Chains A and B, each alone.
Chain A
Amino acid sequence: MNKKNGLRILLSVFLVAALFSGCAGMAAKPTEQNFKAPVITLDNMEVAHAFGYWYFSNKVEPTKGKPDNVGAPLDLAFTFNLENPNPFPVQLENLKFSVLFEDFELNTVSTNATQWIPPGATNQVLVHAHFDVRQSLLSLLVTGGFKLKEKGTNAWAALEKWWTGIPNYEIPVTVSSGAAVFKAGDMVKVATFEATFP
Chain B
Amino acid sequence: MNAKKGWANVSIVVALMVLGLVFSPFAGAADIKIGALNDMTGATSDVGKDYALGIAEAIHYINDTGGINGRKIKLYQFDYGYRIPEALTKYNLFKRLKCAAILGWGTGDTEALAPTVAKDKIPYVSASYSGHLCKPEKTPYNLFFSTDYSTQSRGLITSWFDKKWPTKPDYGKRKPRIAMCYMFASPFSSSSIKAAKDQAEMLGFEIGPDQDVSLFAIDTKSQILSLKEFKPDVVLHTNTVMSVAATLRDAYALGLGADNLIKCWGFDENLPRLAGKAAEGAIGCAPWAFYGLDVPLMDKVMEYAKKYNPGIPQEKRTIHTVQAWANALGLAEALKRADKAGDLSGEGILKKGFETMRGYEIGLGIAPATYTPTDHRSQSEAKIYEYKNGEFVLIDAVDLKARWPEKWKNEWLGW
Contact = CB atoms under 8 A, between A and B. Distances in A.
Interface string B97-118: 0000000000000000000000
A106 B79 CA distance: 12
A130 B81 CA distance: 10
A27 B83 CA distance: 50
A145 interface: yes
A52 B252 CA distance: 43
A135 to B, nearest CB: 4
Interface in B36-51: 40-46, 49
Contact of B43 (A5, A20, A107, A141): A141
B309 A179 contact: yes
Interface string A83-114: 00000000000101010000001111110100
B310 A106 contact: no
Interface in A178-198: 178-179, 181, 188, 190, 192-194
Contact of B46 (A110, A130, A143): A143
B408 interface: no
Contact of B311 (A130, A149, A179, A181): A179
A12 B310 CA distance: 45
A185 to B, nearest CB: 13
B82 interface: yes
Contacts of B3: 2, 5-6, 8-9
Contacts of B46: 139, 142-143
A3 to B, nearest CB: 9
B17 A142 contact: no
B218 A145 contact: yes
Nearest to A131: B41
B42 A135 contact: yes
A16 B17 contact: yes
Contacts of B242: 142-143, 145-146
Chain A interface extent, by class: 35 or more
B19 interface: no
A178 B308 CA distance: 10
B14 A15 contact: yes
A146 B218 contact: yes
Contacts of B308: 179, 181, 190
B218 A16 contact: no
A149 B17 CA distance: 66
A188 B307 CA distance: 9
Nearest to B13: A16
Contact of B45 (A112, A143, A145, A149): A143
Given A136-B41, A179-B311, A141 B49 contact: no
Given A106-B41, A110-B77, A145-B216, A19 B309 contact: no
Contact of A9 (B10, B40, B311): B10
A177 interface: yes
A5 B4 CA distance: 7
Contacts of A136: 41
A12 B43 contact: no
B312 interface: yes
Contacts of A96: 309
A50 interface: no
Contacts of A16: 10, 13-14, 17
Nearest to B82: A138
Contacts of B76: 112
A142 B81 CA distance: 13
Interface of B: 3-4, 6-7, 10-11, 13-14, 17, 40-46, 49, 52, 56, 76-77, 79, 81-83, 215-218, 240, 242-243, 245-246, 274, 307-312
14 contacts: A110-B77, A135-B82, A138-B42, A138-B82, A139-B42, A143-B45, A145-B216, A145-B218, A146-B218, A146-B242, A149-B218, A176-B311, A179-B309, A192-B310
Given A142-B215, A179-B309, 11 more contacts: A12-B14, A107-B41, A112-B76, A130-B41, A139-B42, A142-B216, A143-B45, A145-B218, A177-B309, A179-B308, A188-B307
Closest 3 CB pairs of A and B: A5-B3, A138-B43, A12-B10
